[in-house]
Chain A
Amino acid sequence: MLTQDVVNQFRHQTILVAGDTYIDRETYGDVLRLAPEAPVPVVKVKSRRSVPGGAANVAKNIALLGGRALLCGSFGQDEASHELCGGLPPENFRFLQLEHRPGLRLPERHRIFAANQQLLQMLNTPGPVGTTSAGIQLDRAHDAKAQALVIYDQGYGAVDSGLLRAVETLRQRSPLKVVIDGHPQHAPWYGAADLFTFNVDESLEAARRLGAHAETVDDAGRFLAKTLASDVLVTLGGDGMALFERSAAPQRIPASRVPLADRAGAGDSSTAVLALCLAAGVPLRQAAELANKAAGVVVAKPGIAYVSPEELMSLFHQEISHLLMESVDVKQRLLREQLTAIESVVRTIVDAYRDGRTVYAFGNGGSAADANHFITELVGRFMIERKALPALSFSTNEILMTSIANDYGYEQTFARQVDAFVRRGDLVVAFSTSGKSRNVVLALELARTKGATTIGFTGDAAGSFPSLCDICIRVPSDNTPRIQESHLAVVHIICELLEKELTRT
């Protein structure tokens, strides 16, 4: 599914979110001086912000991504509830008050920033906030016809064994996808879920609490996936994610390369995307990749930040422009490194044609296409009307190719043709992105012994290939498509220049 289509599915999903909820407070200011009483910064406060934290923030992320979030739990006074939903549209964000507990104070996390840099983080946890009867009440959530349930467990007390039992029952009764943002201390309580997420430390600690001594994330992830009978996603901070599926080998998903502000809120956005994707039936691997990209959007913004459906959709454009830029980048390096080599190829071909020689080209697959393209420009015309130039591709004649391959082996396919056609002074042009194609290498060796001039087109990792070529065009990249695009660009340049030279009177 294309990213666009996945994101468009979000608005049809209803997600239940339960677990630890707190208030995230942020203070922004400037530091212009030190305090007179001690050498510490004085932050002149410019603005303050309170946003929902924990389960409430996952719910908010879901709502902002277009999904319907149903936040279940106990939130104390209306004032706190109001702060939690933060003006989100009621059709996207609703409360399911599981238990009314007047006087309950939510835990708080307070971050202090100056000039977009975080200085300090303060926690204020006023005591246990367990929802004693949440487990029983969660049954009501079943009526909400949700496609997924997120349990957000920070160990603050809202997630207890009762709630987790209720989750298991609910999962057995309905096709609900269950995502648990896990807390290591509660690992022994967890039953199976569709997905568990942990950070690195949490994964190691959770494995330890389940009786395994895991040294690495890989050990921990594999163990947790097996023991919890669930897929497990470990977030690696700046290194992306590690995905441990029960049905596939562990996979790494590298982090997006973005300028980092801080990681505040990235985990919550990623959890929201995961839940929405699983609810929409998106395969886990793709869900994780999208969640990883969503986290990349969030970490570039300072403080608790969010990602919009539009931003997620624009990621697809960003991917396209990234690939185009990669191509541009290779061409720029080509410009810096290969001017002289290209010039000598032009000079050599012009001289060979003036001496009445013939040009032969060959390569495999995409390189065969490049070889044919080159020959076509010579026998036909490039841009100027002129006489035909003698040139032949060894990659075109499939009857000949299959016959040689069948009788002598594939590695002889080009060498046999070199033997048949190439004479002293002729030009042999070989294309191989890897420089390792055996049939190309053997043909070059034979061409040399027959006294031909050899020209090679290859990439960065070219083995013995360059030493077999009198002139070698080496594209400074190890990425096959980028190398082949550059080969074609160089072929066009050579054709244009030699045609100009040969038509000069």
Chain B
Amino acid sequence: MRVNTDKLAEIVRAFPRVELLVIGDLLLDTYVECRALGVANEAPVPLVEIQSQRQAAGGAGNVATNLARLGVQTRLVAPLGPGRESAELKEILTAAGIDFHPLAVDRPTPHKTRILAGKHYYLRLDEEETADLSEMETASLQGLIKGAWGKPAALLVSDYDKGTMTGPLVRWLEAECKVSGMPVYGDLKPCNVPLWAHLSLLTPNLPEARELAARLQPGQSIPEEPADLALTLSKRFASQVVLKMSERGLLAVDRGGALCRLEALAAAPVNVSGAGDTVFATLSAALAVGATLEEAAILANVAASRAVVEEVTHAVSAEELLEQLARLAETAQ
């Protein structure tokens, strides 16, 4: 496939002109970096000493961070729990240049704490309460979304099934988007996809796509081939589908059923966490500035190859993406 890197660079340079609204589940990622001291004397378990702690935004927060790093004017509306760590998360998002409109809720922000010593990963602590938002909270969230609406080119929904995206909220959003003719790009947990009637873009990973197909056609066999799987989903939602297949790259299907397969570019990924959010953000930004699905998918694939070579979750910047494109142009010659 001939890649027109000049055209792609032009798309990237257009990112700052576009405004995107992200809603969904905001997650808090904490990385606790430790030094191993040995074995505890009261029980035969590792004893470590905390060296440093780092907070990062996950879920919708990571999608927004990726968008902001790409230069997109980014707004984020999401529930935020109480406590010191959530307050820090708000600061992190604001410092990243995101226009963040938090909905203050009583329950804690879903929190993943990873405990590491160098490259050794001990365990992960997950804290969350995932009941649906109450009617009153949903109403407040709608108010916040209205206030933050501005002139977005698209709505991005980052749904981790943590209780934000409820049926009533989805129905209201679809009505609002219909009025303003705004496309909805969804990175959704399979169980919540059926809530939606109109999606412009769906970006499941392979296991999610299989689960989704199984949910949509109960009792029927699930297509083995990723391409058939993507086509099935595309037909069902009349939407563009980009299948994230980790080391096997990306597979894009447009509304007409045209396929585009992209091999993963990174030879030796170091850390793949958050790469899905990078793909979703890059695809969305590119589509929002008028790129074709193929162009958007190529850019997302390039961005992902840059994200996975970093030790920690990395949001690729517009500059980094342009560098990657320049390198791609060199190797192509």
Interface residues of A (CB under 8 A from B): 27, 29, 35, 37-38, 40-45, 112, 118-125, 199, 201, 237, 262-264, 266
Contact = CB atoms under 8 A, between A and B. Distances in A.
Interface in B38-90: 40-43, 45-50
Contacts of A43: 123-126
Please indicate which of the listed interface residues A112, A199, A264 has the most CB atoms of chain B within 10 Å of its own CB. Answer: A112
A120 B124 contact: no
A305 to B, nearest CB: 12
B45 A45 contact: no
B165 interface: no
A123 B48 contact: yes
A122 B115 contact: yes
Contacts of B125: 27, 29, 42-43, 45, 112
Interface residues of B, number: 24
Interface string B113-133: 001000001111111000000
A35 B122 contact: no
A122 B34 contact: yes
A120 B271 CA distance: 24
Nearest to A199: B41
Contact of A120 (B41, B45, B127): B45
A42 B123 contact: yes
A43 B122 CA distance: 11
11 contacts: A27-B125, A35-B123, A37-B121, A37-B272, A38-B121, A42-B123, A118-B40, A122-B49, A124-B49, A199-B41, A262-B43
B43 A263 contact: yes
A142 B46 CA distance: 42
A201 B41 contact: yes
B47 A123 contact: yes
A190 to B, nearest CB: 21
B123 A264 contact: no
B45 A40 contact: no
Contacts of B267: none
Contacts of A266: 42
Interface of B: 32, 34, 37, 40-43, 45-50, 115, 121-127, 271-273
A40 B43 contact: no
A44 B48 contact: no
A112 B46 contact: no
A27 B122 CA distance: 15
A45 B124 contact: no
B124 A42 contact: yes
Nearest to A45: B127
Contacts of B40: 118, 121
A35 B124 contact: yes
A120 to B, nearest CB: 6
B50 A120 contact: no
A47 B34 CA distance: 23
A156 B46 CA distance: 20
B126 A44 contact: yes
A120 B46 CA distance: 5
Given A123-B47, A266-B42, 10 more contacts: A37-B271, A37-B272, A41-B124, A43-B124, A112-B125, A122-B48, A122-B50, A262-B42, A262-B43, A264-B42
Contacts of A35: 121, 123-124
A201 B42 CA distance: 13
Contacts of B49: 122-125
Contacts of B32: 122
A35 B113 CA distance: 11
B122 A120 contact: yes
Contacts of A199: 41
B42 A41 contact: no
A120 B40 CA distance: 8
A16 to B, nearest CB: 26
B122 A40 contact: yes
Contacts of B123: 35, 40-43, 112, 119-120
A121 B47 contact: yes
Contacts of A27: 125
A26 to B, nearest CB: 12
B182 to A, nearest CB: 32
Instruction: Give the top 8 A-B pairs by smallest Cβ distance, nearest first.
Output: A263-B42, A45-B127, A262-B43, A124-B50, A121-B40, A118-B43, A123-B49, A42-B124
Contacts of A42: 123-126
Given A37-B272, A37-B273, A121 B45 contact: yes
A160 B37 CA distance: 24
Contacts of A120: 45-46, 48, 115, 122-123
Contacts of B46: 120-121
B124 A123 contact: no
Contacts of A121: 40, 43, 45-48
A310 B23 CA distance: 56
Nearest to B51: A124
Contacts of B273: 37
A118 B45 contact: yes
B43 A123 contact: no
A119 B45 contact: yes
A123 B42 contact: no
Contacts of B42: 262-264, 266
Contacts of A29: 125-126
B59 to A, nearest CB: 14
Nearest to B39: A121
A263 B122 CA distance: 22
Given A35-B124, A43-B124, A120-B123, A264 B50 contact: no
Contacts of A263: 41-43
Nearest to A108: B50
Given A37-B273, A122-B48, A264 B43 contact: yes
A379 to B, nearest CB: 63
A123 B50 contact: yes
A24 to B, nearest CB: 11
Contacts of B45: 118-121
Contacts of A38: 121
Nearest to A264: B42
A124 B40 CA distance: 14
Nearest to B271: A37
A121 B46 CA distance: 6
A31 B250 CA distance: 32
Contacts of B122: 40, 119-120
B116 to A, nearest CB: 9
A20 to B, nearest CB: 16
B163 to A, nearest CB: 16
Contacts of B43: 118, 121, 262-264
A122 B42 CA distance: 13
A230 B32 CA distance: 43
Contacts of A264: 42-43
Contacts of A44: 126
B205 to A, nearest CB: 10
Contacts of B124: 35, 40-43
A40 B32 CA distance: 15
Contacts of A262: 42-43
A60 B53 CA distance: 30
A121 B40 CA distance: 7
A123 B37 contact: yes
A122 B53 CA distance: 12
A269 B302 CA distance: 60
Contacts of B47: 121, 123
B84 to A, nearest CB: 12
A214 to B, nearest CB: 19
